[in-house]
Structure 1
C-alpha cells in the first residue's frame, strides 16, 4: 500500500465515523446493527468493528445486551463545548434574558446549518402552556421563523440553489413550494421579521428576526407563543421586543 493509499483509507474511515455519529444524533434511541447497516450501507464486519471502537471511546453506547447502539456521552461533551465557546451565544445572553422578560414567552437563538436551523440557546416561557424546546434541536429552515428570517437575507437565486423545488411538510400549514417560500421571503424583507404560522407545530406561532452582524445572516432570534394565548396586543408587544432585541444584539455582535 502506498502512502497515498493509506491516506485515502484514513480519510474514508474518518468520513464513516462522522456519518455514523450523525446517524445516531439524528435518530434518538438504540438501534440494532442490522438497522444501522441498512441505513449507512457499510459492510457489516467493518461497521461492527467501527462501532466497537466508538463504544470503547465513549462516542457510542450499547444497551445491556450489547447488541443495540446509540449516541454516547462524549458527543454531548463536544456539543456543549461548541456552545460554551461560541462568541455569539455569549454576547447574546443579556439580550435573550431581556427579550424573555419583555415577552414572557419562549425565546430561541439558532444558526443556519445547510437547509436546517440548529438551536444554540433557549429561554423558557414563564407560562404553564409552552412549547418544548432544547439546545441542539434541528429543524428545517423553511418551516421556522428563525430559518425564514435568515433565508430572507439571501438572494432569490441563492435560496433556489440551497433548497429543492419541493419542501417537506411538517404540518398542513407548511410552505412546501420553493417559489411560494421565495415570495414569503420577499415579504419578510419588507416588514423586517419572519412569521411561522403553525408551519412547524400546530397551535404554535413564532416570530423571528435575523442578526445582521454577518451578510448574509447565519443566526436569528425568535419568540414562540401558543396561538391560544396570542392576542393582537401581545403580538405587537412581541414584534416591538424583537426589534429592540435585534438592535441590542447588533451592538453586542458588531465586532464578531
Structure 2
C-alpha cells in the first residue's frame, strides 16, 4: 500500500484491518484461521487478536465453533450507506427505471474501481430467463460491457498502465490480450457503446455506455440480454434506449 500524501507512513494495524476486510469481502463464506493466515501472511498470533477484535466490533463473524471467520454485518451497513449517499445513484434512479421499462431487460449501473467494475444499482428483467447480479458485485472491467465502455474513456497508455498484458479469462470468449482489448476500445470510442459477447457469462450479451459527467468517466450503464432473445431489431432498440438513457443521465448529473 502506497504511503499517504504528506510523507506519512501507513499505520500497520489500519492497513491490516482493511486488507482483512477486503479478503473476506472477496471470498464469501467462512474461513479457518490457517486459511486466512496463508492468504494474508500475518503472524498467526497477531492475526488472531485482530480477528477477535473485529468479531467483537461486528465487522467479522464466526461460526458456532468460533474457529471460522467471515465478513460481518457492519460491513453491509457501511456498504449500504455508500449506495444511499451516492448522488449519482440517486440521480440515476428514474432513468434506470425507465430504461428497464423500455427494454424489459436487466439494467445495471456500475463504477470503475481499479481494474474492476462495482455494481451500484440494478433493475431485474421482466422475463423468466434473466441474469442475476447483486449490488456490490465486482467483475473484471475487461470482460464486461460496462468496464470496456469506461476503459474507452482512458487513453491507450492509461489502459496499459492499469491492466496487465495477459487478462484473466472468465469464459472462452473473454479477450485476454491487452493489445487486442485496446484495439476494441478504439471501436468503442467510435461507436459510443461497448459489447460483452458472452465474455463474462456464456449465453449472455451485454451492451454498455459510459456516463461522461467527468473525464475519464467512472460510471456506466448496461443492458444484459440472453442471446436466445436477441434479434438484430431488438439489439438496435436496446442501443437506442441506452443512448437515450445516457443523455438523460448527462443532464441529471451535470451539477455533480
TM-score, structure 2 as length reference: 0.96
TM-score, structure 1 as length reference: 0.96
Question: What is the CA–CA distance in structure 2 between the aligned matches of 1:64 and 1:229, rounded to whole Å?
Answer: 46
* Deviations, residues 173-201 of structure 1 (Å, cap 9, x unaligned): 00000000000000001111000000000
- In the other structure, the counterpart of 2:209 is 209
* Deviations, residues 10-32 of structure 1 (Å, cap 9, x unaligned): 81000000000000000000000
* Deviations, residues 134-188 of structure 1 (Å, cap 9, x unaligned): 0000000000000000000111111111111100000000000000000000000
Counterparts in 2 of 1:15-94, with a 5 A limit? 15-94=15-94
Counterparts in 2 of 1:59-208, with a 5 A limit? 59-208=59-208
Deviation at 1:80, TM superposition (A): 0.1
Runs of 4+ in 1 over 4 A off after TM superposition: none
Question: What is the CA–CA distance in structure 1 between the aligned matches of 2:37 and 2:155, rounded to whole Å?
Answer: 40
Aligned length: 249
Question: What is the CA–CA distance in structure 1 between the aligned matches of 2:225 and 2:82, rounded to whole Å?
Answer: 28
- In the other structure, the counterpart of 2:221 is 221
- In the other structure, the counterpart of 1:13 is 13
Q: Can you give the 5+ residue segments of structure 1 that lack an aligned partner in the other structure? A: 1-6
RMSD of aligned alpha carbons: 0.9
Q: Can you give the 5+ residue segments of structure 2 that lack an aligned partner in the other structure? A: 1-7
Deviation at 1:232, TM superposition (A): 1.0
- In the other structure, the counterpart of 2:237 is 237
- In the other structure, the counterpart of 1:4 is none
Please say which of residues 228-237 and 181-190 is displaced more in the overlay. Answer: 228-237
* Deviations, residues 86-132 of structure 1 (Å, cap 9, x unaligned): 00000000000000000000000000000000000000000000001
Question: What is the CA–CA distance in structure 1 between the aligned matches of 2:85 and 2:18, rounded to whole Å?
Answer: 21
Deviation at 1:233, TM superposition (A): 1.2
Question: What is the CA–CA distance in structure 2 between the aligned matches of 1:165 and 1:34, rounded to whole Å?
Answer: 33
